[in-house]
Amino acid sequence: AGYVAAGKTGTAQVFSLKGAKYDEHGTKEHLRDHALYVAFAPADKPRIALAVIVENGGFGAQSAAPIARQVFDYYLLGKRPKEPANEDKTAGDSQ
């Protein structure tokens, strides 16, 4: 990208599982966790800070971080997105 961003992903639980394990694909969409990403860039000398919340988006790295990347690219590099941010299908695998 031409810059290094710093941020933290997260999720906000929509409903209680009562001891069951969360399965994003087995959960109805309106009950999936909200995806969060709070970040700033460039990391060494910040010019922009933002928070992205994707309702029922699952993991933050999976759905919120790609949106933040497009905002940073536009703000810092003048690069307009050609299409909506793609969901990163591999981002939630390690969580």
pLDDT in tens, 77-88: 999 988 877 765
- Would 71 be classed as within a structural domain? yes
pLDDT at 88: 59
Whether 92 maps to a domain, the answer reads no
Predicted structure pTM score: 0.76
Element at 52 (helix H, strand E): strand 48-54
Structural domain boundaries enclosing 73: 6-83
Q: Is residue 89 part of a domain?
A: no
% of the chain exceeding 70 in pLDDT? 77
Residue 90 falls within a domain, yes or no?
A: no
Q: What are phi and psi of 85, to 5 degrees?
A: -60, 135
- Quote the number of domains for the chain: 1
Does 19 reside within a domain? yes
Q: Would residue 79 count as lying in a domain?
A: yes
Roughly how many angstroms between the first and final C-alpha of the chain, as a whole number?
A: 25
* 45 found inside a domain: yes
> Is 58 inside a domain boundary?
yes
